[in-house]
Structure 1
Amino acid sequence: MDYDLIVIGSGPGGYVAAIRASQLGLKTAIIEKESLGGICLNWGCIPTKALLKSAQVFEYLNHSQDYGIKINGTGEVDFGAVIKRSRGVADGMSKGVQFLMKKNKIEVINGFGKLKSKGVVEVKLNDGSTKQITATSIILATGGRSRELPNIKQDGVKVIGYRQAMILPKQPKSMVVVGSGAIGIEFAYFYNSIGTKVTVVEYLDNIVPLEDEEVSRNLQRILKKQGINILTGANVESVDSTGELCKVNVKTATGMEVIEAEIVLSAVGISTNIEGIGLEELGVKTERGKVLVDDYYKTNIDGVYAIGDIVKGQALAHVASAEGIICVEKIAGQNPHPLDYNNIPGCTYCSPEVASVGYTEKAAKEAGYEIKVGKFPFSASGKASAAGAKDGFVKLIFDAKYGEFLGAHMLGYNVTEMIAEVVTARKLEATGHEIIKSVHPHPTMSEAVMEAAAAAYDEVIHL
């Protein structure tokens, strides 16, 4: 065998798996047809956060008088410069992964990898040639792409996916965002913040539909106040992009509505990249676009593993990384614990931010728990008031019988940096009382976690 391990795909699942494998002494190669770091580093998590930071800075400028700062003249968005900064941040991160590959002595093969037979991968190299390489173990980490609906065909110009939304040649005056998950809401917030007229169309009754309903309702109210038009319980029937403006035909509870916009962004989820990688030829089992794996990401074929967006579980970068580490440690003969998919944090980086983990209130009740719920609004937080960020709240859910920490739901400034406390507490099986008795620094936003736990047990001080 040429290698102990070949990883196909270098996103946050693949490159992390490769590094951990190298640490464990496995001779490793990674195959990537585009840029190291995959979608997350190059076209997803990282460059979008750069765009959102530019929007936040622009909002600070526009509201500087709220902080006692007068600016002569008005702020102006240089859209090209905003996009250029975002691309620069992404390029820097991708170069960082290149460095990590060299540091860990991982061979990078630029091309498209395909399972050929047991232990054999055929690579169509980017220079057009083809070669075969062999390994004892192969990990598929091929990720996903923007999902395309038949009634919202993407042309990459007027009807686009998230990738084009990051590199538009000019700022659109109007945009319809179809779908209100994390990707849809983040782009809606970004473009609205810099002056684009934005409409969000969501098929379900709540935006960010995976979140607790109370978070969804409050975020919708805040985003509407910011100027975003939001239609829930609505379905895009068709898009006519033949004219200067796209005509988006939307079916709502009250009938049909036609919305005109320069750009239509389809943000209705992702499709997995499992075509053409040799699954059928080797007999790897799939179901509904996902590769079937066990708790340690082994497929039904010995020596073939799969992680990330193409397997069960949440399609999130940090999930893919965790899966990659568990998979490689098992391959190396260690005994890692299976991943707890009910303790995975989810984050949406609009403003205010959304962060959550575990059961929603509705899901906890449906699971049969008798619950205690504590909520603490940021309007009662000294740090939030000082920061001028009083929107939102922390909501915690506990099992009334044993005090088990069932879930946390946060809406507010910087809450994506606060949710890790809850993930760790749940991992360590902390109870509500242990959270209350853990002294939190003052003044911080994180005090709201302690106060919300106290509220659940009628011990809250600052309400």
Structure 2
Amino acid sequence: MTTKITILGAGPGGYIAAIRAAQLGAEVTVIEKENVGGTCLNWGCIPSKIMITTADMLERFHQAKAFGIALEGTVKADMQQLMARKQSVIQSQSKGILGLFSHHKIQYIKGTATIDGPNRVRVTQPDGEQNQVSWDKLILATGTRPLEIPSFPFDGETILSSNHALSLTQVPKSVMIVGGGVIGCEFAFILSSLGAQVTVVEALDRLLPLPSVDADCSKVLQREMKKRKIKFLVNRTAQTVEAGDGGLNVTIGPSPFMEAPSEKDKQPVTAQVEKMLVCIGRQPNTADLGLDTIGLEPDKRGWITVNDRMETAVSGVYAIGDVLGPEKIMLAHVASTEGQVAAENAMGAKREMDYQVVPGAIFTTPEVANVGLSEAQARDKGVDVRADSVLFRTLGKAQVIGEIAGQAKIVSEKDSGKILGVHIVGPHATDLIAEAALAMQMGGSVTDVAATIHAHPTLAEIMLEVSCKALDRSLHG
């Protein structure tokens, strides 16, 4: 008998799970209430990178004289054309996903899914029609949405979520970004390059305050922000906002996380901006799913708990992607891998998800990428490590393209040279991290990377240089 697998959500986790399940012979149904591709394609990875590409191109135009190009007139962003290009790329990608569904004979239903007891899902389609879908195995891939807090309710006009920011038709004169994490920092560079005056407010003591991001990467990024006249305030929080004649009046006070603040730190300051962009996290799409009808209880914040086989506490029900929350890793490529694990296990395998080697990619300017342990994490584990860094300015290719800011760091085990983590901040860091991820996946050492011939002149030589330095035989760095 053919196994019926129903998947709620067609994001990078859900649609990949569907393809893998179909490859294994399942009868697959995917239900999505919005558009295929999920947050990644429609409100995250792809549209933000489209905006970043335009922002980077603008920066290149501003540097044209240094590259021997004479420009006449002014260069500025055409937001209408940018938004049109965004929609064109999204539509093309969406069409591709639907084509994959057709190729693999996957049934796709657009509508709102509600679990209606064991082995049943009720689907309400956009026209109001309802129908029932039966399942033997269920995969939950419903994702997340921007977290809204009562102090700063989204109105889509002056107080924006990241979704709103990806649909701007005009560049604001000034914007305050609340939250200096990945999304906040990416938007800081985008909006600054497009012409806005940007201020970032972060409650912790550095930008990109993620444990997986090496502190040295944050230092480089903060230095580059200063060069671009992007203001940032760390150890601070936006406390209140009021409408004023010139836009918004925002009161900024000390962060509750600041240790021993001085009297000056305790004094609130006021800033006036045209718009506020709130980037302080995500919340799960688990309400009204009908989880109670199958006895599945999310945690108090709404996140779903699974084991390493992506199994929930309910037999035959799996969950993948961002709906698992920060206890896992909320990245599109992780969701896709979790989707394959869940699909294979739903079809009888016993595969476990491995989170040890997961590359992270942050599309700021310069880019930031990491895999494995940071220097601080390795030392906290009591490992006898060494950390070696090489600046991008030592590379001929970096000088050629005029992007010399940044560095690469390898965290390795002292005795064996085994690579424990790699942290890159610099040009094309998000592409370069792939070599480091492969080296770690293969259990490689700095000796292995140093013995690998790297093409010249390329940015990839940064891995050769830093590996040689880790062996105490630097070439250029």
- The verdict on a shared fold, with TM-score over 0.5 as the criterion, is yes
Match of 1:264 in 2: 276
1:212 aligns with 2:225: no
Q: Name the TM-score, length of structure 2 as normaliser.
A: 0.94
| C-alpha deviation, 1:66, in angstroms | 1.1
Instruction: Give the residue type in structure 2 aligned to 1:109.
Output: I
- Give the Å deviation of 1:11: 0.4
State the secondary structure of the residue aligned to 1:309.
helix
The match for 1:327 among 337, 342, 346 is: 342
> What's the counterpart of residue 424 of structure 2?
410
Structure 2 contact 5–136 (Cα < 8 Å) conserved: yes
1:196 and 2:196 are equivalent in the alignment: yes
Q: How many correspondences in the alignment?
A: 462
The answer to which of 47-56 and 307-316 deviates more is 307-316
> Identity percentage over the alignment?
36
Give the alignment partner of residue 281 of structure 1, picking from 293, 317, 334. 293
Aligned residue for 1:53, secondary structure, equals helix
Once structures 1 and 2 are overlaid, which stretch shifts more, 238-247 or 364-373? 238-247
- Unaligned stretches of 5+ residues in structure 2: 255-264
Does structure 1 residue 455 correspond to structure 2 residue 469? Answer: yes
In structure 2, what residue type is equivalent to 1:130?
Q
| C-alpha distance in structure 2 between counterparts of 1:459 and 1:149, whole Å | 52
TM-superposed CA distance for 1:3, in Å, is: 6.2
In the TM superposition, 1:84-163 aligns within 5 A as: 84-163=84-163
Note closer, same or farther for the CA distance 1:300–1:199 as it changes in structure 2 (3 Å cut).
same
Q: So what's the TM-score if we normalise by structure 1?
A: 0.97
Say which of 266, 287, 294 aligns to 2:307. Answer: 294
CA RMSD of aligned residues (A): 1.4
Q: Which letter maps to 2:302? A: G
Checking the alignment, whether the CA contact within 8 Å between 1:61 and 1:75 is kept in structure 2 is yes
Q: Find the aligned partners of 1:114 and 1:50 in 2 and give their Cα distance.
A: 34
Query: Which residue does 1:221 correspond to in 2?
Result: 223
Are the aligned partners of 1:3 and 1:134 in contact in 2 as well (CA < 8 Å)?
Answer: no
The alignment partner of 1:123 has SS state of strand
- Structure 1 portions without partners, runs of 5+: none
Q: Is the aligned partner of 1:42 residue 2:42?
A: yes
8 A Cα contact 1:118 1:303, kept in partner:
no
Equivalent residue number for residue 394 of structure 2 = 380
Letter aligned with residue 369 of structure 1: V
Given that 2:407 and 2:426 are in contact with CA atoms closer than 8 Å, whether structure 1 keeps it comes out as: yes
Shift of 1:242: 6.0
Offset at 1:403?
A: 2.2
How big is the shift at 1:74? Answer: 2.3
Deviation at 1:244, TM superposition (A): 4.6
**Contact 2:367–2:429 at 8 Å: present in 1 too?**
yes
Match of 2:241 among 221, 239, 242: 239
Aligned to 2:333: 318
C-alpha distance in 2 between matches for 1:9 and 1:382 = 46
Partner SS, residue 424 of structure 2: strand
Deviation at residue 14 of structure 1 after TM alignment? 0.3
- One-letter code of the match for 1:228? I
CA gap of 1:274–1:441, structure 2 versus 1, over 3 A, is: same
User: Which residue of structure 1 aligns with residue 65 of structure 2?
Assistant: 65
Q: Which moved more, 1:81-90 or 1:420-429?
A: 81-90
